[in-house]
Amino acid sequence: MTTERERRERARREFMREEAKRTTGVLLAVGYFCLFRALFVTSVSLLLFPVAATAEGACAPTHAGESAPETTAADSAARFVDISAPIKQGAHADPPICAPNVSYTNHSAPPLPELAALFPGLRLEDLPGGDLWALERVEMCTHSGTHVDAPWHYSATMADGSKPMTITEVPLDWFHGRGVKLDFRDVPDGHVVTAAEIRAKLREIGHALSPGDVVLMNTAAGAARASADYIHRGCGFGRDATLYLTGEGVRLVGTDAWSWDAPFLHVGRRYRETKDASIVWEGHKAGRERPYAQIEKLANLDELPSFGFDVAAFPVTVEGGSGGWTRAVAILDR
């Protein structure tokens, strides 16, 4: 017969087992959360002031140079050309309000305290290679680096009073299509390209636009990416040019300049002279009449033919966002 003392002891042991299970579950949950959070952390914020360099004891990896624009396996049936630029600390591709701040954690960093709960006694030297993972923490706005603007970026209302699409609402098929490249590198910085000029360039290359074409503009800004005045370089595309393209069924355009519109430095000068507010962001604002999306700060467009390739530029979606970063690529037959 079980005594009262034995019953209490059995109940105590059962309670301790349940407590151990609960504690282990909590530690595992916390540990896994912290582990995966550490594996890839990207914090996005709109920077109001320039942010200085990397985290203490961390630095960007040193490479011989930028990667080649073509990144294709030797046995691939297609040729892939990277037409986006890497997110880079100290690059000149953005003004301070959107300049990326990147901090690096290298492989030899001490193990996270959270790992002790999962792997008690684990030492760095016990791991293969004697090191841990690398990871990066990034602060930037959604229009930093090579990115796609959604209609929500350029207005809170469409011309008909409807709400513009955010980056999560733009149809995915807009971000893939037959590519067309127009060369405006000979056009002066700050020039606003017209519909007539686009039609002339299309005649030069012998191409007729079709709905769904992705039209990329190679400007003088492309060669100036590493320059401190990059954001002031290249031409822009005004209301007239934009409405011509969207009228032909184009829903995605791109430029290697900082903006689809002419650089603010030049537009600001003209505005001070004329006080004509219609010239401010006129290419973007044309999307209030016919919505479209634009890729800005592309790279390596000089590597592409005038046509005969596809473009894929699917954006990272930020819920309710006005834009999203993209790894844009051009796909050519071998």
Q: What is the pLDDT of residues 57-113, one digit of tens each?
A: 345 554 434 545 666 677 778 999 999 999 998 888 888 889 999 999 888 777 777
pTM of the model: 0.79
Summarised one tens digit per residue, pLDDT across range 278-333 is 999 999 999 999 999 999 999 999 999 999 999 999 999 999 999 999 999 999 99
Pairing verdict, β 323-325 and 147-149: antiparallel
> Average pLDDT in the 205-226 region?
97
pLDDT value at 178 more than 80:
yes
Summarised one tens digit per residue, pLDDT across range 47-58 is 333 333 333 334
Pairing verdict, β 293-296 and 323-325: unpaired
- List, in order of start, the domains of the chain with CATH numbers: 1-69+101-139 (no CATH), 147-333 (3.50.30.50)
Q: Judge whether 292 and 245 are in contact, CB under 8 Å.
A: yes
- pLDDT bracket for residue 6 (50, 70, 90): low
Q: Which segments of 170-256 does DSSP mark as H helices, in order?
A: 195-205, 239-247
Summarised one tens digit per residue, pLDDT across range 186-205 is 999 999 999 999 999 999 99
Summarised one tens digit per residue, pLDDT across range 221-260 is 999 999 999 999 999 999 999 999 999 999 999 999 999 9
pLDDT of 69 reads 67
pLDDT value at 25 more than 50:
no
Q: Which residues have a Cβ under 8 Å from the Cβ of 266 and sit 6 or more positions away?
A: 189, 190, 232
Q: Radius of gyration (Cα) for the chain, nearest Å?
A: 26
